[in-house]
Structure 1
Amino acid sequence: MYEIFEKLCAENGVTPYRVCKETGITTASISNWKAGRYTPKQDKLQKIADFFGVSIEYLMTGEEKEGGERYYLNEETAEMAQTLFGNRNLRVLFDAAKDASPEDLKTTYDMLMALKKKERGENEF
């Protein structure tokens, strides 16, 4: 299973150390996982899966279930989201939701929807 983690790191151009820094998982946890001493607990697996934009199932098996739900509908969007997530300066887009008020989230949502409409030519500002 650690091999899938290594593969995801290589595909995304990140080091295990960076994954640890970005997710709050200790390097000792990753080292123990690599050495086969234990498998990370569910919460840590979820943090790693979220970091890479994959499911825990994919992280564990390297495969997605047929018809499995994906967070992003297409690969290009998933890649762009990962790029944004990996960029410390742009990460605010993800971090803002942690303690934002419902009104702030609604405003952000409305702005994003307006941008999508503009992109499709449905709405001009």
Structure 2
Amino acid sequence: MSLTYRIKELADKKKVTFAEIERNTGISNGQIRRWDTSSPKIENIQKVADYFDVSTDYLLGRSEIPTITDVTQEENLSSQIMFRMNTDGLSENEVDELKDEVDRFLRFRRSEIERERELKQDDKA
């Protein structure tokens, strides 16, 4: 999926035009359409990503997940899992080790899921 196609999808959802995006982000008039045939400046990609509140990886087609993973979300999930686990009888150090292990597992599984999505996308192309 091309960069401009991804931006077009986001623009359609937000009901804005490329011209409006360019005006609101300070990008030169007509630049986004030219990104199909020329390389955009990194700062312009970042401006568009910020405008839509998505990651640059999502815009560039490197990820199917629009938003940047918020570390605090993973920590909250980890804390919720820990809360539901019975940690009675464990020392504070052992609970911390267990929490770290849960965090590592969640990050690993997320990366595996993202890689599986990318493989599926490659198979469809």
TM-score (norm 2): 0.49
Say which one has the larger Rg.
2
Q: Normalised by the size of structure 1, how large is the TM-score?
A: 0.49
